[in-house]
Chain A
């Protein structure tokens, strides 16, 4: 690689040597842990075992996916629930981000923000445990409902789609609140005041000033949350139980339980494809660059 120094840096040590030394770990990391593994995964997904230790190139794994309704139904279900969870997360997080940046002031604002971040210092496993104890039939919330006389028998609140959504929204909140807060923080209060001064109602300000301004933050948050939901395993698995039918579970089953790596690799690529497609769509819709969005989140 030809190099030109951006700065008049080390002249005594040859800059070329330093550049090489700095490039080595980056290339090693990206090539050995990202590029090659995915190429291997791609190879796996496009072959079929015809006899022990004998393989042929084939599209069979992908054909199986489309031929077997269970597989693609789980795929679609995962996508739809992830989109729903993303939308819900945005709805829940936006007012809080607004309060943090525009309503609360000074210490109250930074305190509230810090409080919002606290749960995310704790492992997702612990948080899932909390929801299990809260929601299961013998758990806290059903007991409370019985005590309040709302139901006669403790209801089973686990293993519903709503439970999975609750869990996903909960785990995703941070990744929505942080980009929203930083994009709303940069919204100059005088823009809101000016709009108000020119006669705009609250709704008009939201539509014409706030949302256009916060769009990059909203997009960044939605993209990250969507990816996290799609790739989540723990929360759907624990809160959804047997009914969860999350696509990552199919991948796990193929890889670890059935040892059918070819099929698992194909599923992996389908998930990666879906994730990439939706990210690209989100970027295109909001006219942003991937690099900027990732930096922002």
Chain B
């Protein structure tokens, strides 16, 4: 992906970019953490950088904040190059992973801290911090101690402490990572609403794909120091650009095999066990080469009776291996009959088929245009 391409993708709407990263590179002792990376983030958007741990996302974020010096490339914030700009002179504030609230100060003092450093008079400081606390729903909490707050309130204080300085860009380093599941779900929504209310550009890093999908207007999927794909959550989910994105974003069935035949956009893939599936191809793939096909669990139809499946798609037979009941996200794990390969199918939300039993024989099919195959990575 060229520099221009990736920038265009993100700023397609033509809005001004608050952050531009150009050919950014960082090595640590022979290991490339960030590799020739370029992208831009549109003003007012919620941009997530999604990737597994060790993919370089934290390094990238800390370079934007200025805590790590890049080896090469440039970072522009609001059209101004950040080379030679000290971290505390950048129009950027950061929400740290553990939030880094100052335990030796009250909530109000935490929010006032940055203003005090700018020599804003006390009265003005108090007024603005109160106003900000009110906007994040913590009116009256100014005199509380930091450790008296709940996890959610602490996060709001951290955001208030940064936003009171009116930064161009707010960087968030997995602030939800340390929270338990229930609170995390709640904070996700709250974070999205806060961003919408303030309109500040957020750059958010996470390894949790559901956080990235729920929160973001755009997501960059990062792997080994590069972006595999930059796009809206819908684009990543429905048209992954690489096998990595397909397997990392959302649940997916992966079927590895050889491309034996193609007709138009649809290819036939045969596994080493002899199971054949159909999927559309991504990019040019020669017949006979190794490929990986991905089929979303919810793309497949499941029936007890083969005749109830749509006629136009190839039909497969499986045996129920386990039932994964999870309310609206319930699924069933099958073994395809001939190859014994595992295959996951989402259960209809109507509750139909809720009475499936382990060991039962079922029929399934999927639309090849909703399945996608990529040339297999070497090795």
Do chains A and B directly touch (beta carbons under 8 Å) in the complex?
A: yes
A interface vs B, CB < 8 Å?
188, 190-191, 193-201, 204, 208-209, 212-213
Docked-complex contact B94 and A194, CB < 8 angstroms: yes
Q: Smallest Cβ distance from B117 to chain A, in angstroms?
A: 4
Closest to A199 in B: B117
8 inter-chain pairs at a CB distance below 8 angstroms, sorted by A residue, are A195-B102, A196-B88, A197-B94, A198-B113, A198-B114, A199-B114, A200-B117, A212-B104
Q: Smallest Cβ distance from B203 to chain A, in angstroms?
A: 14
Docked-complex contact A190 and B100, CB < 8 angstroms: yes
In the assembled complex, the Cα of A208 lies from the Cα of B117 at a distance in Å of 11
Known: A188-B100, A201-B117. 17 other contacts (CB 8 A): A190-B100, A193-B87, A194-B94, A195-B113, A197-B93, A197-B94, A197-B162, A198-B88, A198-B117, A199-B88, A199-B118, A204-B117, A208-B102, A208-B105, A208-B113, A209-B104, A212-B105
Tell me whether chain B's interface is mostly helix, strand or loop, or mixed: mixed
Cross-interface CB contact of B102 among A196, A197, A209, cutoff 8 Å: A209
Known interface pairs A197-B65, A208-B105; A191-B117 also in contact (CB < 8 Å):
no
In the assembled complex, the Cα of A213 lies from the Cα of B102 at a distance in Å of 9
Digit string of B87-101 for contact with A (CB within 8 Å is 1, else 0)?
110001110111010
Q: Does B198 make an interface contact (CB < 8 A)?
A: no
Docked-complex contact B88 and A197, CB < 8 angstroms: yes
Contacts of B67 in A (CB 8 A): 193
Closest to B167 in A: A197
In the assembled complex, the Cα of A191 lies from the Cα of B92 at a distance in Å of 16
Q: How many A-B residue pairs have CB under 8 A?
A: 58
Which interface class (under 10, 10 to 19, 20 to 34, 35 or more) fits B?
20 to 34
B interface vs A, CB < 8 Å?
65, 67, 87-88, 92-94, 96-98, 100, 102-105, 113-114, 117-118, 161-162, 165
Contacts of B114 in A (CB 8 A): 198-200
Closest to B67 in A: A193
Docked-complex contact B117 and A188, CB < 8 angstroms: no
Q: Which of B103, B113, B165 has the most CB of A within 10 A?
A: B113
Q: Smallest Cβ distance from A212 to chain B, in angstroms?
A: 4
Closest to A204 in B: B117
Q: Smallest Cβ distance from B77 to chain A, in angstroms?
A: 14
Contacts of A197 in B (CB 8 A): 65, 87-88, 92-94, 162
In the assembled complex, the Cα of A213 lies from the Cα of B105 at a distance in Å of 10
In the assembled complex, the Cα of A32 lies from the Cα of B184 at a distance in Å of 58
Q: Smallest Cβ distance from B379 to chain A, in angstroms?
A: 33
Q: Smallest Cβ distance from A52 to chain B, in angstroms?
A: 63
